[in-house]
Every structure is written in structure tokens, then in C-alpha cells.
A and B are shown apart, each in its own frame.
Chain A
Amino acid sequence: MTRVETIIPANKHAEPILSIRNLSKVFPLQSGFWDGVIGRMTGLEPKAVHAVDNVSLDVRAGETIGIVGESGCGKSTLARILAGISQANGGQFLYRGRDIQDYLKNPRDALKIQMIFQDPQSSLNPRLQVIDIVGEAPVVHGIIPRSQKKDYVLGYLEKVGLGAEFLYRYPHQFSGGQRQRIGIARALAVNPELLICDESVAALDVSVQAQIINLFMKIKAEFGLTMLFISHDLGVIRHLCDRVVVMYLGRVVEVAPTERLFSDPRHPYTQMLLEGMPKISLERRKFLSIEGEIPSPINPPQGCHFHPRCAFRTEHCSQKRPDLVSLEEGRHIACLNWQGTSPPPIKSGGGYAQSENA
């Protein structure tokens, strides 16, 4: 299943640091012996989850890209592939123009891509002190001699807002926000170029979340980082990102510069997502019922994955897979009826504004 999709280009001013083409990740569901035998006898296509389905994307240096979507949309799988933790089954992944597998062969190069996880509790070794958590990789990889470890670690702890008194403590002695700061210090300590943050502020309280978001903005400017920010929280994405990629069941449905996406969403799913986003407001929101559930990624709908929940579906939506096409400068959308989804239907009284009991 190789298909050429329109590529999501980065801004033309800068060289893409990372570019992926038709990247796919399939998790096969059959694993038992008899599944294999039956599969071969019947010749049926084995059951599989297409976690990432033909995704193409360019990220230029210094950019912050947001990837949003709900459970099962493949955003975390994509993040793990881009971080080199898991491998794609199909497509091309170039980092600085070199194939990623070739690039990762040199351990010093591999350090250039770092990841920060959602749960700092489970991503820090509970038996190591902070000085080792942060300082181990730079020493092992020869970035600094062992004798300088303490000063080096201290420097990075200060950059993330922690003091010298934390050097010899263990992860369980910290609060959630402090642990996330240690995770960030660990990632920074190996001089990365690309930072992949997978729901890195999702588990934090509002006031702590604000502190960590500010820290991300500070280190991005200070270290000239390129960032991929994966989140389900549209408020966080809007605050941090230059461009946003919206995913649904493994596929990219819309890509646009952040402000344009939020002010004028075009894909029906993006519109639904923005409409469902809770907002702090004094007006009692008139709740509009959102139709349908997120389908299982094991058995996604034919054609456009979103069509069973879409208010604008036509008969060919269930047959033809929409390609990602350029709508305007910087904006790409995968919808067969995209002309029909503008302006946002919510304002024109159609679309989702149907009563629950209708």
C-alpha cells in the first residue's frame, strides 16, 4: 500500500531538520500459531492496527509543532517513532537528510533527539540520585569527563529551576512538577536538537502546568531547540506551538499554522474538537451534542475514518480515502468535501447543532 501523498512542507525559509514521508506503523494483532495457520489457509488479510497510517511531515529547525488528537489517533506512536524508540514498518524517515536508522548508529548522534514523557514518576529510575539521572548519559557518551559531573549537573538543574540541595535526592522525594523538571534537565544535559514532549504537562496541576510550560518556552529559546509537542489539550497547544497537526485514527486530517487553525478550522473533525474544548466563560454554554464515539482503531471505518461522525458526509466519503491536499498556503486538509466545511457550521446553525434526542 504505497501511495504518494501531498507533503506537509515546512516553512520554505529553513531546511527541514526532520522529514517523514508516508510513515506507517502497523501492529499485527494475530500472534498465536493457529491464527497464522488460519490466516494462510483463508488468505484473509490479518487483523492489524494501523496506528500511524501514511503520515508525511516536515519539521524545520527552531519550529514548535503540536500534534493533537484523541485516544487511538496514533500521536504517541508517531512520537515514539520520531524519538527512535520504535520503528516504522513503512515509509521514509530522514533526520538532517540521513535515514534515521543510519543516523542512530552513532550513539552521539542519537542523543540529538530526546523525549520527555507524560509521567515523570515512571520515566525516572527510582534507585538513582538526581546527579546520576541527569549526569550519567553525558559522562557515558564522553560529553564531559566524570570529574566535572557535579558542576555540569548543577548547571542544568539551575536552568530548570532546581537548586544544589536536590543533587543527591531520589525521585520519590520530589513533587510531580519537580520530577518533570528533572526529566527536562536529563534531556537537556546531552545537548539535544529536537525535543519530543509526549503529554508532558498533562498530569500536572494547573499552577504547576503553567510553571512547566514557561520552562519549556524558556529552554526552547535558550537552547535553540526544535520541539514536537504532543497533547490532547488544545489550550496548551495553542499557547506553545507554531503549527498544529490534527490526527484522527492514525491519519493526519488537518495541518495549519496555530492561529489559523484555531480561528478558522476547516476539517469537520478539527471543528468538532475545537467545539468540544471546554472554555472558561461566564456564558452558560449551550451544549451541542457531538455525535458518535471514536471508532476502534482495529476496525476503522472505510473511506474517510471520520465519516460516521461527520455532519457533512456524502456517499463517496465511505468509499474513498481523502488525500491530504493543500488548501491554502501552509494549510493542508484531508477531506473530500472541504469546500462545504467553511465557514464553520456551528455558526450557521447546521452541523452538530442537532438535539440529542432528535
Chain B
Amino acid sequence: MSEPCANPQPSKPETLLEVEKLNTWFFTRKGVVKSVRDVSFHVEKGEVLSVVGESGSGKSVTGLSILRLIDQPGRIVSGAIRFNGTDLATLSEEEMRSYRGNRIAMIFQNPMMTLNPVQRIGDQMAEAISEHEDLPQSEVMRRCIEALKAVGIPSPEERMKAYPHEFSGGMRQRIVIATALVTQPDLIIADEPTTALDVTIQAQIIHQTRKLIDETGAGMIWVSHDLATVSELADRVVVMYAGAVMEIGTTAEIIGSPRHPYTQQLLNSVPSRNEPGKELFQIPGMMPSLLSLGEGCAFASRCSARRPACDQPIPPEHLSATHTVWCVRAKEEGDAA
């Protein structure tokens, strides 16, 4: 089997996943909800790519689309999802199963909903392995214990026999991460994995996640609404709004010199970036309905720098090899907002 390389070579990045012009739409009675529109990005081995956005931005649907976990009335309308050269969008359901939880693992927000409450955690983890590989029991156990150790569960041999309710919330999320790791996946998709956790526990999980990615050389997509955790963990960031990508860049580019008005204003509305006690910067208006989006920039209705060109399809502007912005003003001097 293909093991992820133990020592990633940062000098020569390899593309692990390439999402191209992905469109995931939901065909509801009220109309077509275009949750993901023409989204393109790639993930390299050994990097954490963070997809940030607010509710309704399509960040979670993007993550679910990669694993083809979109239920009716939604479906992937068009686009390619190339994973190690294979287009996942064209695979049969049976072929897709060999990827889910095996080569690509997913971690959800609420660990209590991911874990089976009436099964010992060791058995659940072992099941994740035996679903995809035929290994002797001792090897399965060894892998489970190793994974639990990697996420910092003390005395894993004994804890394997425990049920999910015997763990605290932070421990449970670590077990979910360990379960994702047992098959040694090449790509891990984590959807708001620390949102339900306390501050000190969140710091532990982020610390361990970063360590695991650096050690195993796997790629990770970290879906989050929290700009602060993203700035601490991610190598690169994709900013989404109303189903479309607004800006892609390295963490330094997105946090340090954001060029899309939405990214700039989102960063400015975080309390820690404002003087305490003073009125916070706020983005006027609300996110438009995904049912009635036009051709142009989805943020235009809330943007102070709106101009007629904003209502036309927005071409990407490549500001550097890594930094791309979908804004008609991106090339102009100075900050747009």
C-alpha cells in the first residue's frame, strides 16, 4: 500500500488534491441554491489549507463535495476533483468507498455525533482499518494504539476499552482525529473541528494537528470560521463568501496584506483588532440569498467600492505566484477599503 512519506520534502511540493471549477448546487422547491460556485484550489502534501467563511459561504459543502457526501436534493453539477491524479467526481459509488475514510479522512465538528455511543472506541477504530485493509488483529491494535498516542491520549492500551461517554469533549475530538489517522490517509478534511471545544483544549488540538501534519506529510483541509485559529495553523487560506472564492493566498498574504474588500473588512471586524470599548468596525448589510445571485461579485451589494464592472463575471487577478484575488480593483494601488 502507498504509505504517506515519513519525511516530507518542503523543497519540492507535490500536489495532492486539485479542485477545479467545482459547482455544487441544491435543487430545492424554492429554486436552485448555488452553494458552491466555480471553486478552484489545490492542496499540497504536508500543508494545511484553510477554507474560511461565514455561515452560508459554502465552506462546509466544499469539504463534503470532495468526499462526495452531498445528499439529495444537492449534487455536484460540474467540476473536477483530482486526487493523486484520479478525478473523484467521475468514480462510481463503489470506487468512492475505497477512498472515504481510507485515503481521505474526514473530521466533523461534533465528536459525539461521529462516535458510536454503544461501541468501545478501540473497536470503532479497528473497524475503520478492517473496512479497507486485511490485517492481523495484532497489527490493527498496534496501529490504533499508535494513533491514540499520537494525539496525546494517556495510557491508550486501557482507554481503547472505554466508551465515548467516558471521555471529555476534548478527548473525544482527539479520538476522532486518531480514528481518521489509523488508515494513514493522504488527505484529512476537518470541518470546524475545534469550534465546540474550550480555549485551552482548542490550543492543544491545534498544536497536535500541526505536529501530525508535519510528521506524516499528509495534506489537510481545515474548514473554519475562526480567523484567529486559521492564522495560527494554516499554510495557505481560501476565503469564501456566498459560495464563491474571494481570495486565495498564503496565510501571511491573507492576514498581512488582504486585497479583497471582504477579507479586509472581515479581519477588521474581529474584536481583538479594534480598540477595546470603541465601536467595532462592521460590514454593512447581509449576505445575499444564494437563490438569487447574479453573474458578478457576490459581495458587491455590501462593498463600499462597488462599480459597474462588479456586476460582470470577475476574472481572477494573480498578484503573486500564490496570491489570487477575485476583485476588479485588486490591481489598483493601495488598499481597496
Chain A residues with a Cβ under 8 A of chain B: 70-71, 175-177, 205-211, 213-214, 217, 232-236, 238-240, 258-259, 272-273, 275-282, 284-285, 287-290, 293-294, 296, 356
Contacts and interface: CB of A to CB of B under 8 A. Distances in A.
A287 B203 contact: yes
Contacts of B227: 206, 280
B270 A287 contact: no
B228 interface: yes
Contacts of A209: 269, 271
B211 interface: yes
Interface in B191-227: 198-204, 206-208, 210-211, 225-227
B228 A238 contact: no
A149 to B, nearest CB: 28
Contacts of B207: 287-289, 356
Contact of B199 (A206, A232, A239): A232
Residue with the highest number of chain A CB atoms closer than 10 Å, among B252, B280, B283: B280
B200 to A, nearest CB: 4
Closest 9 CB pairs of A and B: A278-B228, A287-B207, A70-B198, A276-B203, A210-B269, A205-B54, A239-B271, A235-B271, A276-B200
A70 B286 CA distance: 31
Nearest to A239: B271
B88 to A, nearest CB: 30
Contact of B276 (A259, A287, A288, A293): A259
A293 B270 contact: no
A279 B272 contact: yes
B304 interface: no
A289 B209 CA distance: 12
A109 B286 CA distance: 38
Given A238-B271, A281-B255, 13 more contacts: A70-B198, A70-B199, A209-B269, A209-B271, A235-B228, A259-B276, A275-B203, A276-B199, A277-B228, A280-B267, A281-B232, A288-B207, A290-B200
A273 B199 contact: yes
B152 A356 contact: yes
Contacts of A206: 54, 225, 227, 266, 269-270
Nearest to A269: B200
A70 B200 CA distance: 8
Contact of B274 (A232, A239, A259, A282): A239
B232 A289 contact: no
A207 B265 contact: yes
12 contacts: A207-B54, A207-B269, A209-B269, A210-B271, A234-B199, A279-B231, A280-B272, A280-B273, A281-B232, A287-B207, A293-B168, A294-B168
Contacts of B272: 235, 238-239, 279-280
A213 B269 CA distance: 10
Interface residues of B, number: 47
Contacts of A356: 152, 207-208, 211
Contact of B169 (A71, A236, A239, A281): A71
Contact of B198 (A177, A232, A287): A232
A293 B170 contact: yes
B86 interface: no
B276 A294 contact: no
Interface in B89-125: none
B73 interface: no
B228 A280 contact: yes
B168 A290 contact: no
A330 B101 CA distance: 54
B255 A214 contact: no
Contacts of A296: 168
Contacts of A290: 200, 203-204
A1 B54 CA distance: 48
B282 interface: yes
Contacts of A259: 276
B229 A207 contact: no
A311 to B, nearest CB: 13
Interface string B236-272: 0000000000000001100110000000011101111
Nearest to A290: B200
A293 B204 CA distance: 10
Contacts of B225: 205-206
A279 B255 CA distance: 11
Contact of B201 (A234, A282, A285, A293): A293
B266 A175 contact: no
Contacts of B332: none
A50 B336 CA distance: 53
A205 B53 CA distance: 9
